[in-house]
Structure 1
Amino acid sequence: MADHSADWALPCGRTEAELLDVLTDSAPPELAEHVRTCPHCQAELAELKAVWAPVRRTAQIPVEPPHGLVERALMTVRGVRGGLGASPVELAQEGGALRIHPQAVVLLTRQLCAEILARHPGVHLRGCVGDADEVQVDLAVRYLLPASLAERIQQDLAADLRDVLGAGAPTVWVRIADVEPPG
């Protein structure tokens, strides 16, 4: 079998890349016509077909998304887009009040949670939804990590939000939504 690691030219001057275009039906008509009559291209194309046959078969196998992927994606979108009707958080400042949109509160919560989780290997953020009044954080934890870790993360997250937002910090709920196999 030929070496397919480099784009070398056949005796007729055609390259493997051009033959791959033929194989994927994206070659210009003049190349397709040349390949039909060229013994060098036909031989190389036969080898390429044999090499690519398992890839083509695998590509045609339907793949189901992992369990819960769609729900997690929608929860994330709702978390960022949600809270449209909620009142903003107002922080009193010198000269007036700073209004923080509920979506910004959710994004802030997500960022602070990511910083906290960086200190806890084996714990991953699965979702963060809510508004300026209440935020729910879903975690995935590696098997055998203590369940009390969620409570500790909830306390740390609530404290960090209070540091940033003061009395306007939302109530935080942290739950373990998934358990992953040991690493």
Structure 2
Amino acid sequence: MADRSFDPDRVLPCGRTDGMLLDFLADSAPVELSEHIPTCRFCQAELAELDSDWAQVRRTASLPIEPPHGLVERTLTAVRGVRGGHGAAPVELDQEGGKLRIAQQAVVLLTRRLCLELLAERPGVHLRGCVGDVDEVRVDLTIRYPLPAPELVEAIHRELTAALQAALGAGTPAVWVRVVDVAPPAIG
């Protein structure tokens, strides 16, 4: 792109603005502008510059992009975890005045939130996924090498189970914590 800055409010000698010409290029300009441009040397010159300036951007935008390895799987796992299965029975907690029903999606979201709070205190450990239902939840982690993965998994499992028991009591699901990826050591 050229070294000139773009100002959409810059007015051309014919009274049109650069912003109006961008609308024209995006096929969202009024008919009057479409009729004006073929007869206006100022608009034609500015459109030529805009076209030249944005040619590299258009070329880059048209390149196919491969998603990072595992992105689709991680996204689907997260969506399944939050969306949950159909027709699963909720957790029922006895309370004064009746029962409290907690949907499995809420159990997964609570587990995710509690896990993120625990991981905030542990640099180099990141949540990759959290799925499950009212019976059990699985937490997937990435741990940076050379952190002691077995000890971290055990501590996170213990603390997460305790936090869920504090929130859900007898309705606490079984908790599974596993390492699904190891990140390279931090540089520097």
TM-score relative to the length of structure 1: 0.87
Match of 2:26 in 1: 24
> How many Å separate the matches in 2 of 1:12 and 1:103?
59
Does the 8 A contact of 1:141 with 1:180 survive in 2? yes
Would you say how many aligned residue pairs link Structure 1 and Structure 2?
Answer: 183
Moved over 6 A (4+): none
Q: How well do the aligned residues superpose, as a CA RMSD in angstroms?
A: 2.2
Residue 94 (str. 1) matches residue 96 (str. 2): yes
Does the 8 A contact of 1:9 with 1:16 survive in 2? yes
> How many Å separate the matches in 1 of 2:31 and 2:87?
58
Structure 2: gaps (5+ residues) = none
Alignment match of 1:68 (pick from 55, 67, 70):
70
Residue 5 (str. 1) matches residue 6 (str. 2): yes
Cα distance change, pair 132–3 in 1 and its aligned pair in 2 (3 A): same
Match of 1:170 in 2: 173
Q: For residue 103 of structure 1, give the secondary structure of its aligned residue in structure 2.
A: helix
> How many Å separate the matches in 2 of 1:25 and 1:100?
49
Does the 8 A contact of 1:4 with 1:16 survive in 2? no
Displacement, 1:121?
2.3
> How many Å separate the matches in 2 of 1:73 and 1:98?
31
> How many Å separate the matches in 2 of 1:71 and 1:141?
18
Q: Which amino acid aligns with 1:5?
A: F
> How many Å separate the matches in 1 of 2:161 and 2:167?
10
Alignment match of 2:154 (pick from 151, 154, 170):
151
Q: For residue 101 of structure 2, give the secondary structure of its aligned residue in structure 1.
A: strand
Displacement, 1:51?
0.8
Displacement, 1:60?
0.7
Q: Which deviates further from its counterpart, 101-110 or 89-98?
A: 89-98
Displacement, 1:47?
1.1
Structure 1: gaps (5+ residues) = none
